[in-house]
Structure 1
Amino acid sequence: MMSIRLRLILTLTLATLAVWLSAVVWIEHSTRAQVERVLDTRLAEAARMVSSLLSDRRIALAETGEIFTSDAAPGYLRQLSCQIWSETGALVGQSSGAPDGPLTEARAEGYSTSVIEGEDWRVFTVLNAELGLSIMVGDSIAVRERLIFDVIGGLLLPAAVILPLLAMALWIGVSRGLRPLDRLTEALRQRSPQDLSPLPLAPAPPELRPVHQALDGLFARVRQARAHERDFTAFAAHELKTPLAGLKTQAQIARRAPDEATRQAALAEIEASVARSDRLVRQLLDLSALEAGEAAPQAVALGAILDEVQRDLAPLAAKQGVTLAVTGGEAARLLLPRVLLYTLLRNVAENAILASPAGSAVQLSARCAPGRCVIAVADQGPGIPEAIRARITERFFRGPGAPVGGSGLGLAIAAAAADRLGATLDFPAPGAEGGQVVRLVLPRPG
């Protein structure tokens, strides 16, 4: 790709050349008109002057049949020629170097154009009725063209000399103008990968300030992303360490158990630790998948997704002694990434099951209207305290009284999926009867 420096220089040089050529064309057109007008005026004035001199007898004519001629010097360039013709068509006088034939066949007074010996001429004719003469004064159009060419040449010759100098001046000017960009490039090249601090404050052209601001914003986002990654890794390691430590302890108890009851209790704890680790790993994978890239939208049946969530969570609901019910959404069809909606609903419903007391129910309901679908997950648990409601979607955050077996990732995953779907996830305050409702509002184009 062409460099900015070269592109600027070529653009400015070509623009200057185009302006210069446009000026030359305009000047050529204007000069041609002016030269033709001036020389035509000179022809008319010269013809009238000769006619006046003849009338005043200041120019003597020879006897009939004789003409006044003078030899032209070798190489003489004819510029203005004059011929005097009688009414009978006889040439009675001409200037030195005039053509042998008549300057024009036109006999009317005024301007005319003729071709003499293959050369174009411009002629002005004056009729002297008193003397019965026609005075013709003309010049070669080639002479006029040479005059115009000399004028244009006077413009192009300086351009041929100045254009290289102009290109050099543009190169120097553009290079000096791009020095702040070169300094920025060098500063970025010398930075270590770990240095994400803002760029040092230095005088910069207004055009470069948005680049500085964009880079500083990028560094800030990368710093934030790195901090999240560090926190994520630390929290994940801590959360995995707890069930693994429990597994090791319970395995030792089971090995040394003095009786079958103690062994079975230890094995039950091992099973619970494995389930917690499995859930944590699955949620970490879900979160990683959400942040990895875009999922393609597809036509999905909302009722089918709700039924799938119910089937997948039925074992957990049975174990917790909770009834998981689904209503609505049977006829609704949506265009969105299926995996995102399933992941969102599963994590919210799973969280609701873990938060619900035995013997209670968790209700998944859907209600669609033109423009949107509202999906609600309602449980009969203690609800989310107002004090921690703003932090409930933070990763690994677990408030007081959080259900055993939770990892603090479920609602964080749900919030990330809702953001990707362009949906809103609400946590209304519990009503007087208690319980918590999590409401998802999905846009539904058309």
Structure 2
Amino acid sequence: MISLRLRMFAILMAATCAVWLSGIAWIHHSTAAKVDHVLDARLAEAARMVSSLISDRRIDVEAAVALATSSETVAGYSRQLSCQIWRLDGARLAGSTFAPEERLAEADGFGTNTVDGTEWRVFSVTDAERGVRVMIGDSMAMRERLIADVTHGLILPSLAILPVLTGLIWLGLSGGLRPLRRLAGDLAAREAEELHPLDRRLPSELTPVRGAMNDLFARVEAARERERSFTAFAAHELKTPLAGLKTQAQIAARGDEGQRARALSQIETSVARTDRLVRQLLDMAAVDARRMGEDHAPLAAILRDCVQMTEALAEAKGVNVRVEAGPAPPRDRLLLGAALRNVLENAIQASPAGGTVRVRADARRIEVTDRGPGIRAEDRTRITERFFRGSRPKPGGSGLGLAIARTAMEKMGGELHLDPARGGGERVTLRLG
């Protein structure tokens, strides 16, 4: 991909060339207009002078023609006017050396005519008293050459400046991009562990870049902290049930029938706890990595899957799960499924034996209500933090369920709300975005 410096240089040079070409066009047009105006004035002046001399009889016709068409040489440029004097009855009285034989014009005033293959700019004036018409003409080729010479004289100096301007633009871009190179150098010099904010003073155009990078550093640091917490917690939580499994397995291998039965029961409990912990850890990792909109399913299907996945836990606890669902658009299967499943598991775990967990769902929200002891007031502000079990933790809990649900809802653009249920228990509301 083309570098930023070359891209900006190309844009600036294109703009400069466009302005330069526009200036050339304007110079040519302005020069042509002014030269035409000056030469037309000279034509009119010469024609009126000849007419005046003839009218006053101070000079004969041939002398007047010679006077009007005398050669002008300025800085190596020679200009020769052509003059004709015609009688009004159509007879030619006189003409200059370079004037054509045919009449230059038919009417008074200015005109542009082609005579003998040459284009002429002509001014004519009639002396009705003497019955003659005086015509003074300029070759258009001569005018165009004069305009071209003047235009070239103005353009060539500006053309010589163009390389200098190109160099200045390149140097200006190099200096203007120097803060960006310094920023790149600061980043290149950092170690992978250095995530502190950038504090170098930068131009206002680069301040948003610095802010975005500092925000990225903060998010990366937060993600790394979560990973460290995740690893430490997983190692700690898995160590306990695994140690228990080992102990109970040794008891089962060496004990009598009663001890073996109790040990196998404890092994089953530990395996169930470990299985739920591993699944929640996988849920948390999947929710963290998930992007919205990858897989959608009808809300009724997501509800049905979550109820089926918690059915064994509900039967073991003796809890009934009742679902009331209205029509709703499809939702993200993984995110909403992870949120609802963990909320439902928490509600079943909190419910007393023989209790009922109610799930009400529509297009805007899902409410899960249990009749358990609820959440203590002092725990409400932290209950959705990862690995926080509260001051009255449930046996086998990991402190991840509500944290997974909150993260999943935020990824969907929704919200998680916890409120005491009327009549006791807890009501968890998943507000869908």
TM-score of the alignment, normalized to the shorter chain, above 0.5: yes
Which one-letter code corresponds to 1:238 in the other structure? H
Query: Is 1:157 the counterpart of 2:156 in the alignment?
Result: yes
Query: Is 1:436 the counterpart of 2:426 in the alignment?
Result: yes
Which one-letter code corresponds to 2:424 in the other structure? G
Q: Per-residue CA shift, 1:285-331, capped at 9, x if unaligned?
A: 111111222253534142x44343333322212222x32221311x5
- Shift of residue 30, structure 1, vs aligned partner: 2.6
Which one-letter code corresponds to 1:161 in the other structure? A
Closer, same or farther in 2 for the Cα pair 1:314/1:194, shift >3 Å?
same
Greater displacement, 178-187 / 287-296: 287-296
- Alignment correspondent of 2:227: 229
- Alignment correspondent of 1:316: 313
2:156 counterpart SS class: helix
**In structure 2, C-alpha distance between the alignment counterparts of 1:71 and 1:48, rounded to whole Å:** 15
Q: Is the 8 A contact 2:319 2:351 kept in 1?
A: no
CA-based RMSD: 2.5
Q: Per-residue CA shift, 1:206-246, capped at 9, x if unaligned?
A: 11111111111111111111111111111111111111111
1:28 counterpart SS class: helix
2:200 counterpart SS class: coil
- Alignment correspondent of 2:417: 426
> How do residues 33-48 of structure 1 correspond to structure 2 at under 5 angstroms?
33-48=33-48
Q: Is the 8 A contact 1:240 1:277 kept in 2?
A: yes
- Alignment correspondent of 1:210: 208
Which one-letter code corresponds to 2:38 in the other structure? V
- Alignment correspondent of 1:245: 243
1:124 counterpart SS class: strand
**In structure 1, C-alpha distance between the alignment counterparts of 2:324 and 2:342, rounded to whole Å:** 19
Which one-letter code corresponds to 1:127 in the other structure? T
- Alignment correspondent of 1:280: 277
Gaps of 5+ in 1: none
Closer, same or farther in 2 for the Cα pair 1:301/1:214, shift >3 Å?
closer
**In structure 2, C-alpha distance between the alignment counterparts of 1:430 and 1:393, rounded to whole Å:** 18
- Shift of residue 179, structure 1, vs aligned partner: 0.5
- Alignment correspondent of 2:263: 266
**In structure 1, C-alpha distance between the alignment counterparts of 2:373 and 2:397, rounded to whole Å:** 15
Q: Is the 8 A contact 1:83 1:102 kept in 2?
A: no
> How do residues 114-193 of structure 1 correspond to structure 2 at under 5 angstroms?
114-193=113-192
Q: Is the 8 A contact 1:84 1:91 kept in 2?
A: yes
- Alignment correspondent of 2:357: 362
Q: Is the 8 A contact 1:355 1:402 kept in 2?
A: no
2:420 counterpart SS class: coil
Q: Per-residue CA shift, 1:342-370, capped at 9, x if unaligned?
A: 2222211111121223232322233x3xx
Greater displacement, 210-219 / 171-180: 210-219
- Alignment correspondent of 2:331: 336
TM-score by length of 2: 0.91
Out of 399, 409, 416, the position equivalent to 2:390 is: 399
- Alignment correspondent of 2:85: 84
Which one-letter code corresponds to 2:412 in the other structure? L
Q: Is the 8 A contact 1:82 1:137 kept in 2?
A: yes
2:201 counterpart SS class: coil
Paired residues, what number?
427
- Shift of residue 171, structure 1, vs aligned partner: 0.3
- Alignment correspondent of 1:293: 290
Q: Is the 8 A contact 2:320 2:356 kept in 1?
A: yes
- Shift of residue 166, structure 1, vs aligned partner: 0.4
**In structure 1, C-alpha distance between the alignment counterparts of 2:191 and 2:197, rounded to whole Å:** 13
Q: Per-residue CA shift, 1:135-178, capped at 9, x if unaligned?
A: 11111111111122122212321222111110101000111111
- Alignment correspondent of 1:194: 193
- Alignment correspondent of 2:7: 7
Greater displacement, 77-86 / 240-249: 77-86
2:394 counterpart SS class: coil
Closer, same or farther in 2 for the Cα pair 1:427/1:100, shift >3 Å?
closer
**In structure 2, C-alpha distance between the alignment counterparts of 1:68 and 1:35, rounded to whole Å:** 24
Greater displacement, 229-238 / 142-151: 142-151
- Alignment correspondent of 1:353: 348
Q: Is the 8 A contact 1:364 1:376 kept in 2?
A: yes
**In structure 1, C-alpha distance between the alignment counterparts of 2:344 and 2:114, rounded to whole Å:** 103
Q: Is the 8 A contact 1:104 1:112 kept in 2?
A: no
**In structure 1, C-alpha distance between the alignment counterparts of 2:364 and 2:6, rounded to whole Å:** 56
2:286 counterpart SS class: helix
1:394 counterpart SS class: coil
- Shift of residue 116, structure 1, vs aligned partner: 3.0
**In structure 2, C-alpha distance between the alignment counterparts of 1:381 and 1:352, rounded to whole Å:** 8
Which one-letter code corresponds to 1:434 in the other structure? G
Task: Report the identity percentage.
Answer: 52
- Shift of residue 416, structure 1, vs aligned partner: 1.7
1:239 counterpart SS class: helix
Q: Is the 8 A contact 1:381 1:434 kept in 2?
A: yes
**In structure 2, C-alpha distance between the alignment counterparts of 1:33 and 1:405, rounded to whole Å:** 96
Q: Is the 8 A contact 2:195 2:217 kept in 1?
A: yes
2:424 counterpart SS class: coil
Q: Is the 8 A contact 2:297 2:331 kept in 1?
A: yes
**In structure 1, C-alpha distance between the alignment counterparts of 2:308 and 2:124, rounded to whole Å:** 112
- Shift of residue 13, structure 1, vs aligned partner: 1.8
- Shift of residue 389, structure 1, vs aligned partner: 0.8
Greater displacement, 311-320 / 375-384: 311-320
Closer, same or farther in 2 for the Cα pair 1:306/1:131, shift >3 Å?
closer
- Shift of residue 276, structure 1, vs aligned partner: 0.8
Q: Per-residue CA shift, 1:368-418, capped at 9, x if unaligned?
A: 3xxx43322222211100111111111111112211111111111111222
Q: Is the 8 A contact 1:310 1:324 kept in 2?
A: no
Closer, same or farther in 2 for the Cα pair 1:306/1:8, shift >3 Å?
closer
